[in-house]
Structure 1
Amino acid sequence: MKYFLLSKFKLLSLFNLEGVPIKILPDSVGNLCLLHYLGLRRTKLIELPSFIGRPITLETLDIRDTSIRDLPQDLEQLNKLRHLLLASSFDHKVVNLPVDIASFKDLQTLAGVKLTKRIGENLKELQQLQKLSVGKVNSNLLNQLAISINRMESLRSLTIKCDLGEQILARSFTSLIEIQMLRIEGEVLDMLGWIKNLKSDTFRIEGLCS
């Protein structure tokens, strides 16, 4: 593919490289000033360059099924992001997001993020979030995660992937009023009692181990 041709299409709003076996993202992508969608799923990329924060109009970034495990700090400039697809909800892999996610006020989808103390605390700021998939969850971080999730009034889909041997106390999540899909990988305690007290009766549960 002749990536130098991108310089002729600076008004490009959608750029999908899904399945293309590239290992390095061309610099010219950073000059696409009106880019809204960047699809990098199933490419051979192992990292994202710092210029990824340049197309500040970017609304969707998809890096699922790649070898990328850490994102650059420059991603914080993308405050118009709505869909950040880091890893599949069905995949055990997660991606480290070393930025202040509280700046992503319009975010509706956050999939495949590695849970850290900072992420757990700032999730509560994402009031537009409808789909969340979070991994590497352990007991030390679970309480803060639950506090943030309980404040999300728009959440429809939730996936929690626990560290090996970790347990989740189901009743920690008390306000999943609008939840439609719940997927938990790990040992769940008091599951049946918690389900009876949920206000939502339209959700389905997948992948539970007890």
Structure 2
Amino acid sequence: MKRLTRRWIAEGFVSEKQGLSVEVVAETCFNQLIERKLIRAVEHNSSGRVKSCQVHDMVLEYLISKAAEEDFITVVGSHWSMPTHSNKVRRLSVHSSDSKRAQHVDSMNLSHVRSLTVFESLDKLHFKSLKTRMVQVLDLQGCRGFRESHVKVSDISEMVLLKYLCLRSTDIKYLPRNIHKLKYLETIDIRETGVQRLPATVGKLQRIKNILGGDKRARKTLKLPREFKGTTRTLRILSGVEIAEGSTTAASDLKYFTGLRKLAIYKIHQNEDIFRDLLSSIQYLTGYSLQTLKIDDESSDFHKTLDSMSSYPTDLSTLELSGMLLKLPLWIKELHRLVKLTLSATALRTDNLKVLSNLGSLFSLTFSISEEQDPALGAILQRNKSESGGEIFFPAGKFSKLKLLRIFVPLLPLLNFSSKAVPELERIELRFNRLEGLHGMENLERLNDVLLTVDGKRSEPTKSILDDLKEVSVSSKYTVIVNESHHD
């Protein structure tokens, strides 16, 4: 959904209205399309927002036909392809780049293209008549073949009107040094790429709002140049970054970005001065606009300093703390506006659940970590299990607004839901190697879906528990789905 609304904004389809930001207006328009059944939600994220969507085939056929008649969009390489009614192509979407399709594209007059979207591969495309200075949206998400293609990284810096640049999951290795020429650029999405450092000139971008980088699963990060402070006035989202000293942006510099709404840190260098400066910056930013904070601290040394804050980030709506989190920050119980909370599975204990159960706005709760991330996890989870008496207990009358519960751990102890526990819970997602039981499911009055994913081959005790759950669900109002995930 975010990808779509950011593109709307870049092309000027939505604008500020009645004091609402352009981002809020775009999201409102999207939600109205969902409510009117013109778009169908396929997948929701853990905050309850639509993550992916679909348009019914009949509606899509009409929309593409109408758009082609009015020269709004040109589609090449899918079963929706149709001839253009004009020699002016304004928005081009290339779904296949085989030799035949590539020749078709090269025969077009692309001098008026404002938006270019390519799927699959770039290696056969030339875009001979493309006037790069006219392009406002460049979306190459998932494309391969930058090295072999005729589309060069240097071409990007010639797109002087560019507002939206998405290179996510491509094989690009770097951004052009003179990226500062893109003075209208608002979004850079280089997640899951080989780009590990932004060029120094990125600090000269006058309108940049969103910088999305790094790869959390692969533990790759994005280093920021010292000159990055030039974007302090406009930046709203900064994701996937590494916090260090030296030639990169320091932790203390973050406090200048007072417009930040989301900060996602994937790596922190282990240094007491860095810890102190980062805590100070977080405190400062939460006094302005910061609503989403995500910190992946592999050693958890930074997490141990969280209680030393002189003021607490009580206005956060989303918090994610990854690492060996054995103890929750004392101030977490004060986050009464928190909607989404993701924690390391090492914090999965009944005593911690009691602390979290009074968060009156909490919609989504996730405990997640894998043994691949930390080999010592199994021992910690085993200790947690013994300290909790062998079960995780959800008390009655708590978690008053929680609708989504997700727990992804190798060893999942017995989960017990007491009468009137988690009264609004609609969906449970569990991923595990070994499951020791689920009790009290009949007490969850609003439960609709239970998704259970087994990592590897099921043990006999786990298989027996799963069979019992499926048998009980036949006569229940909720659905139990069991998947197996086999690793090589």
TM-score by length of 1: 0.88
Q: How far, CA to CA, are the matches of 1:171 and 1:79 in structure 2? A: 36
Q: Is 1:28 equivalent to 2:155 in the alignment?
A: yes
In structure 1, what is the equivalent of residue 282 of structure 2? 149
**2:262 touches 2:292 (CA, 8 Å); kept in 1?**
yes
Q: Is 1:85 equivalent to 2:209 in the alignment?
A: no
User: Where in structure 2 are there 5+ consecutive unaligned residues?
Assistant: 1-124, 348-488
Q: 1:74 aligns with which of 191, 198, 201?
A: 201
**2:177 touches 2:199 (CA, 8 Å); kept in 1?**
yes
Measured against aligned partners, the alpha-carbon deviations of 1:58-84 in whole angstroms (never above 9, x if no partner) come to 110000011111221122221311000
Q: 1:54 aligns with which of 181, 205, 217?
A: 181
Letter in 2 for 1:136: K
Shift, 1:88, TM fit = 4.7
Shift, 1:193, TM fit = 2.4
Measured against aligned partners, the alpha-carbon deviations of 1:126-175 in whole angstroms (never above 9, x if no partner) come to 11100101122235322111100111121111111113353412323433
TM-score by length of 2: 0.40
Q: How far, CA to CA, are the matches of 2:260 and 2:215 in structure 1? A: 17
1:30-179 paired onto structure 2 within 5 Å: 30-88=157-215, 92-104=219-231, 105-117=233-245, 118-137=249-268, 138-140=270-272, 141-152=274-285, 153-164=288-299, 166-168=301-303, 169-173=305-309, 174-179=311-316
Instruction: With a CA cutoff of 8 Å and minimum separation of 6, indicate the structure with the bigger relative contact order.
Output: 1
Q: Is 1:193 equivalent to 2:317 in the alignment?
A: no
What is the SS of the residue equivalent to 2:202? helix
Report the aligned-residue RMSD: 2.2
Q: How far, CA to CA, are the matches of 1:195 and 1:135 in structure 2? A: 21
Letter in 2 for 1:183: E
Q: How far, CA to CA, are the matches of 1:49 and 1:3 in structure 2? A: 20
When structure 1 is superposed on structure 2, of 77-86 and 87-96 the one drifting more is 87-96
Q: How far, CA to CA, are the matches of 1:81 and 1:22 in structure 2? A: 27
User: Where in structure 1 are there 5+ consecutive unaligned residues?
Assistant: none
| Bigger Rg over Cα | 2
Q: How far, CA to CA, are the matches of 1:9 and 1:23 in structure 2? A: 17
Shift, 1:21, TM fit = 0.8
Letter in 2 for 1:23: F
Measured against aligned partners, the alpha-carbon deviations of 1:171-194 in whole angstroms (never above 9, x if no partner) come to 234331321111111234652522
Letter in 1 for 2:318: M
When structure 1 is superposed on structure 2, of 134-143 and 152-161 the one drifting more is 134-143
**1:11 touches 1:32 (CA, 8 Å); kept in 2?**
yes
Q: Is 1:11 equivalent to 2:137 in the alignment?
A: no
Q: How far, CA to CA, are the matches of 1:62 and 1:115 in structure 2? A: 19
In structure 1, what is the equivalent of residue 126 of structure 2? 2
Residues 91 and 203 of structure 1: CA distance in aligned 2, closer, same or farther (over 3 Å): farther
Shift, 1:91, TM fit = 5.4
Shift, 1:23, TM fit = 2.8
Q: How far, CA to CA, are the matches of 1:205 and 1:97 in structure 2? A: 27
What is the SS of the residue equivalent to 2:146? coil
**1:4 touches 1:28 (CA, 8 Å); kept in 2?**
no
Report the count of equivalent residues: 208
When structure 1 is superposed on structure 2, of 159-168 and 79-88 the one drifting more is 159-168
Q: 1:203 aligns with which of 339, 364, 379?
A: 339
Q: How far, CA to CA, are the matches of 1:194 and 1:90 in structure 2? A: 28
Q: How far, CA to CA, are the matches of 1:177 and 1:106 in structure 2? A: 24
When structure 1 is superposed on structure 2, of 80-89 and 181-190 the one drifting more is 181-190
